[in-house]
Amino acid sequence: MSRMEPITTLDRTPQAMPQVPEFGDNFRLPPLGTATEEITKPVDFAPNLRDAITRGQQTGRPVVVVFEEDNCGWCKRFDSELSKPAVSALGGDAIFVKASPSKDPAAQALARNLGVDAYPTVSVLNVSDHGIMERTRMVGYMTADDFASRFRTHGQTQMA
């Protein structure tokens, strides 16, 4: 067995970092957190139903109304699903708003006109100068992935 000599000096001269041929010397990692911020940013809910409908008319995007009530356990669970990335990815495709018929007279009138009688209920509306038309409805709790899939299938395209 050979005897190892103790290290007496350290070489502290800077050396060039080896280059990775695929990336070259211009490769830089983005600062932490920046790569996923846009993907995981929660859906921006309109402050009220009137504002959501106005924005829907101006942009031509559908309005997604989440009818919910404070004393509804399934509503609270669904609300937590709405902050997940699968739903966040839909934020630019529609105007989202939460509506509580027991607190907001406009939400109460819309729920009555649409026949909403269970919570949570998600109603995807087409709004225009000619009025409001329900494109599709989703009733009850669903996961973020289920909601996103249903929205892409039934609620995304604006009807003329």
- Name 132's Cβ contacts closer than 8 Å, sequence gap at least 6: 53, 110, 125, 126
How much is the pLDDT for 5?
56
d(CA 123, CA 90): 15
Contact 30/124 with Cβ under 8 angstroms?
A: no
- Quick check: helix, strand or coil at residue 70? coil
**Nearest Cα to Cα of residue 40 among 86, 79, 73:** 86
Look at residue 18 and tell me if it is in a domain.
Answer: no
Look at residue 124 and tell me if it is in a domain.
Answer: yes
68-114 tens-digit pLDDT = 999 999 999 999 999 999 998 887 889 999 999 999 999 999 999 99
* Paired tokens of 156: 């995304």
Largest CA distance in the chain: 92
Q: Give the domain range for residue 63.
A: 42-155
Measured CA to CA in angstroms, residue 91 lies from 14, 24, 41, 59, 86 at distances of: 48, 36, 9, 13, 10
Look at residue 23 and tell me if it is in a domain.
Answer: no
Total-model pTM: 0.72
How much is the pLDDT for 152?
86
Look at residue 117 and tell me if it is in a domain.
Answer: yes
Look at residue 20 and tell me if it is in a domain.
Answer: no
Cis-peptide, bond into residue 105, ω within 30° of zero? no
Look at residue 63 and tell me if it is in a domain.
Answer: yes
How much is the pLDDT for 36?
45
Q: Which CATH number belongs to the domain containing residue 78 in this structure?
A: 3.40.30.10
- What's the mean pLDDT when you consider all of the chain? 80
The domain total for the chain is 1
Flag residues of the chain having pLDDT under 50.
Answer: 8, 10, 16-18, 20, 33-39, 157-160
How much is the pLDDT for 160?
34
Look at residue 33 and tell me if it is in a domain.
Answer: no
